[in-house]
Amino acid sequence: MAVEELVFDYSNCNEAKIGQENATDASSRVRASFKTKSNGGGVPYQWYRSELEGTDITLDNGVHVNTTVCSLIFDIPNDIGAPVYMYYRLTNFYQNHRRYVKSLDLDQMKGVAVPNGTISTSTCDPLRIDENTKKAYYPCGLIANSLFNDTFSEPKRVGGGSNVNETYPMTNRGISWSSDRDLYKPTKYNFDQVSPPPNWKKRYPDGYTEKNPPPNLQTWEELQVWMRTAGLPTFSKLALRNDTGRMLAGSYQVDINDNFNVTIFGGTKSMVITTRSVMGGKNPFLGIAYVVIGGLCILLGTIFTFVHLVKPRKLGDHRYLTWNSEENTTGAATGTAATPKSFFNFRRRG
């Protein structure tokens, strides 16, 4: 079973026109691999954004923020069988940097209220203690601070037909590894003992408060997914999934709260909708690697064969190979033809 996939690059959402009525073609930003090419009629890939000033939205912790909403319209030309996954994909983001990978405190992740003195000498450098409040960051370190904070809506059917405005249900439960979920526990910090990381100010504008306390990392699977660092600068991380229902053919729209800035590291971000087969997800790396290595082997084999035919290697003279010989080896040293008594002249003992 072939893996079907759609990759929609929405890095420069500010280039999209404002308003649904002004949705424009975004085909150049899409790579798609399906059983059929088109569902027929219209432009298969479009995008637009919300008002220039942004849209007021409510986060899951009840905080109201103003952000740009980027709406992606795409065509699914044939039904997709479950499971269906939605990923976000980043490029040129080096989560494998040694200093970045080490920048966390495992005891904090396990719920321990680590004292400031310990945090100040921990591996969370350079984000250990808030210089303004003199409180430890929770969670401390570069990984948590750089958390990917774009959010994706469930795909909604658009266009004509009886299924218009029907939502394809997807969930953010079960997106992290079960082994990772076991590592995180509710914190024992009081809300007034710690400060949120600098990049979390939009989510916690007044810091941690009694009304808006520190998050429960045990149930925050998006953070758990992000904290498992990637080994390559281009990577995908799971955002939503549906393990049971088919995604029917048709046009869909996904609204994205566009918060994560990729220009500061010169990268891109994309939404990925994909399936999997018995061989796993769509990943051409191994196939390309096998073809390249096989081609190199053929090339080197051809070169070595040609060299051997043109200038074959001179065979060695076995007469120079002696072991424990009683003969004078002067001839071997000077190049004269001194032939040993025997090839292997072993002395009898006793």
Q: What's the CA angle centered on 133, arms 120 and 194, to 5 degrees?
A: 65
Mean pLDDT value of segment 132-156: 95
H-helix or E-strand containing 143?
helix 142-145
Answer yes or no: is pLDDT of 223 > 90. Answer: yes
- Domains of the chain: which residue ranges? 5-93+149-173+222-283, 288-314
List of residues 6+ apart from 209 with CB closer than 8 A: 191
* Main-chain phi, psi angles of 226, to 5 degrees: -70, -35
Q: What is the pTM of this model?
A: 0.78
pLDDT for 147-195, tens place per residue?
A: 999 999 999 999 776 777 899 999 999 999 999 999 999 999 999 999 9
Answer yes or no: is pLDDT of 32 > 50. Answer: yes
pLDDT for 289-318, tens place per residue?
A: 889 999 999 999 999 999 888 888 777 766
Would you list the DSSP string of 39-92? -SSS-S-EEEE--TT-EEEE-TTS-EEEEEEEEEEEEE-S-BPSPEEEEEEESS
**Average pLDDT along the chain:** 86
